[in-house]
Amino acid sequence: MESKYLEYKDEIVALFWDGNGYQTIAQHLIDKYHFKTTKESLRRRIKDIIQYVIADKEIIQHNILLQKKSQKQADLNRIKNKAFREHSRLENALIEYNKSLIDLLKAESLKTTIKQHTSKGKQAIIVQIADTHFNELVDLKNNKYDFEVASKRLQKFAHHIKEYAKFYNVSEIFVAVTGDLLNSDRRLDELLNASSNRSKATFLAVHLLKYFILDLNSVANISVGCVSGNESRVNKDLGWVDQIATDNYDFVIFEMLRLLMPDINFVTSGALELVVEVNGHNCLLIHGHQLGNMNNDKIAKVMSKYARNGIILDFMMCGHLHETKITDMFARSSSLVGANAYSENALLLSSRAAQNIYIMKDKERHDIRIDLQHTKGFNGYPINKELSSYNAKSLDKTLKKQTVFKIVI
């Protein structure tokens, strides 16, 4: 192709894309630039240029298509590799987690003496354990929380429960665990405010709850039921089937307690919902993240769902929002942790540490909120402080003075 015509390539192409034919373009160029050639000869040159450009464009488009396919495959490989890395990290973490738990359990006596009490009547107490968020560190002006505080609050809670059990002549207590036993560490602020690592925190949670249950067992026979919450889940995404929902530290803690106390009746069903009958009352345990802020419409929908399956619910209990709310058909417990930086600064909410109990008579239910914010006079259940000293905020509590030997040469 003659070079003197290539310098007009952009103009020729523009005229062609505007709908002009080869002869029209040739005449335009002859009139404009006074080429000394025939119109037919120039027409052939223009045709060659156009075909060259079109062929070049097709090559470019083909290369772009190949590049897109290559990029798509690269993206798929990157997604697969990322998923594989995340799965491998999680699997490795769980392997180490299980090893740590086995080592810790070896130090914990598996033989626990459970007292059996003679039935005194038809009264029973449901004790709700909601949103303990073990492993969270809170250091606010109006609230402090760590394993030591949790231990004291649980002991205070047990003290009041035993007083009510004696007053109402109760010999049966059902402990209803409604999830979020362990604090999440998915957000950076949660990770920075963790008291210990998850394996040690799980063991400490089991340790404290075991003492709590044994404390209650001093006055009554104990049964325990549990549903999983959202904060204690292992995976990033929420699970709505048992296979995924049980991949949760709440479930692990529950099963470890069952192992440690084989003589206690541990009630299991679905991971997210559990219906138990206590003194003729059908009670639903649910964490509450499924329903958000409960109202009458949501309560009616849940009860209708069970009614279609032949189960008439008398009462529902949940946690999740860390705020006490009690109605005729529904009760929500506050949390053991109380206010934290997230609730104070992000949600502009202020809450107190509290838990609920429910006195279940033959045809009556008495709902009682136990305030646990202050624990003066309670020393708490014994805990291994070294296990809770992972974060610098809690580590300084257990550092012992060490002797420094000076060697004089």
Q: What is the pLDDT of residues 67-100, one digit of tens each?
A: 777 777 777 777 767 766 665 665 566 566 656 6
Tokens of 109: 């006596």
For residue 240, the model assigns a pLDDT of 56
18, 24, 245, 335 from 11: Cα distances, Å: 11, 13, 67, 76
Confidence of residue 244 (pLDDT cuts 50, 70, 90): low
Determine the residue type at 49. Answer: I
Round the average pLDDT of the chain to a whole number and report it.
Answer: 80
Among residues 207, 210, 182, the alpha carbon closest in space to that of 196 is found at 182
Residue 248 has pLDDT above 60, yes or no: yes
Q: Which of 367, 366, 359, 314 is nearest to 170 (CA)?
A: 359
Q: Tokens standing for 371? A: 């305030």
Task: Please provide residue 357's backbone torsions phi and psi, each rounded to the nearest 5 degrees.
Answer: -130, 155
Task: Return the minimum-mean-pLDDT range out of 232-246, 315-329, 372-386.
Answer: 232-246
Q: Quote the pLDDT of residue 13.
A: 79
pLDDT confidence of residue 241: 63
More confident site: 14 or 101? 14
Q: What was the pLDDT predicted at 368?
A: 97
Structure confidence at residue 39 (pLDDT): 84
pLDDT average, residue stretch 312-337: 92
**CA 214 to chain CA centroid, nearest Å:** 29
User: When comparing pLDDT for 408 and 305, which is higher?
Assistant: 305
pLDDT at 172: 95
CB count in 10 Å sphere of residue 98: 12
Per DSSP (E only), the strands in 193-280 are: 221-226, 265-267, 273-278
pLDDT of residue 7: 74
Q: What percent of the chain has pLDDT over 90?
A: 35
273-295: per-residue pLDDT in tens? 899 999 999 999 999 887 767 77
Residue 35 confidence (pLDDT) = 82
Question: Which amino acid belongs to residue 409?
Answer: I
What share of the chain in percent tops pLDDT 70? 73
Q: pTM of the prediction?
A: 0.70
Separation between Cα atoms, residue 24 and residue 45, nearest integer Å: 13
Nearest-5° Cα angle at 323, 321 to 328: 105
pLDDT digits (tens, 9 = 90+) for 139-180: 988 899 999 999 999 999 999 999 999 999 999 999 999 989
| C-alpha closest to that of 317 among 296, 289, 288, 337 | 288
Query: Bigger pLDDT: 218 or 255?
Result: 218
pLDDT of res. 288: 86
Q: Is the pLDDT of residue 10 over 60?
A: yes
Distance, in Å, from the CA atom of 59 to the CA atom of 50, rounded to the nearest integer, reads 14
Q: Copy the structure tokens of residue 63.
A: 């290369």
Contact by Cβ (8 Å): 354, 372 = yes
Average pLDDT over residues 38-48: 82
Find out whether 278 and 360 touch, Cβ atoms under 8 Å: yes
